[in-house]
Amino acid sequence: MRSFLATGLRLAGLILALGLMAGTVAEARSVPPGSYLRSCREAQVRDGVDLAAFCATRTGQWVVTRLNDFPSCRGDISNQNGQLWCQRRPVPPPPQPGFGPPGSYRQTCTRVEFRNGVLSAFCLTRAGNYQPSVLNTLTCQPGTDISNQNGQLWCRPRQQVQPPPGSYMRTCRNISLGLGGVLRAQCQRVNGSWNPTALNMNNCGNYRDISNQNGNLACF
């Protein structure tokens, strides 16, 4: 009777664990190969990179086990007494100092290059692969961190500078104010055509208005 009760409790525990596993979102992805398949069952891929299964222990019990980030495994995935196990790929060495701006991306990116404000590197993904990524750092908010977001270089975008008001807005389009204080727009001429024009606001001083003078920006 006691043996029957213990067997029933173990079976109930397995059913409950199976229900918990089924409650999470399973990816429609085939499980990776490995010797674990000989002593594990109900293997499933979770979140695209994690492997979950029921695996047998040396005493013949079935337990729930999970192996996180299995794409980073090198070689066989095995069952070690009810636990999924693999040997991990070696972590790449950190990039050499002196290349590119500072940021947390340096911890997981390599082959870093920086030229004319453009940062390029090979960055680690959650799947354990390295992929090329490029970021124009001139678009980053000053002082913000440059990070690796699943293989992509990322920074908080620079806040857009609002162009100054003026009568030019009535007859100009595609208006923008650059980082150096240069106002750019396409302004309409008297004949109706559109002319690309620019105005350095640093030269305007205490101006009263910015106007469109026959397709050209002017301050006075």
Give me the residue spans of the domains in the chain. 2-88, 104-154, 167-219
Per-residue tens of pLDDT for the chain, all 220 residues: 444 444 444 544 554 454 444 444 444 468 999 999 999 999 999 888 899 999 999 999 999 999 998 988 989 999 999 999 999 877 665 555 557 899 999 999 998 999 888 899 999 998 888 999 999 888 888 888 999 999 999 998 876 678 899 999 999 999 988 766 889 999 999 999 999 999 998 888 888 899 999 999 999 8
Separation CA 43–CA 26 (nearest Å): 10
Separation CA 8–CA 4 (nearest Å): 6
Across the strands, what pairs with 149?
152
What CATH fold (topology level) applies to the domain 104-154? HIV-inactivating Protein, Cyanovirin-n (2.30.60)
| pTM as predicted | 0.36
**Architecture in CATH of 167-219:** Roll (2.30)
Separation CA 93–CA 206 (nearest Å): 55
Q: What is the DSSP letter of 157?
A: B
Both tokens of residue 71?
A: 């794409």
What CATH fold (topology level) applies to the domain 2-88? HIV-inactivating Protein, Cyanovirin-n (2.30.60)
Question: What's the one-letter identity of residue 211?
Answer: S
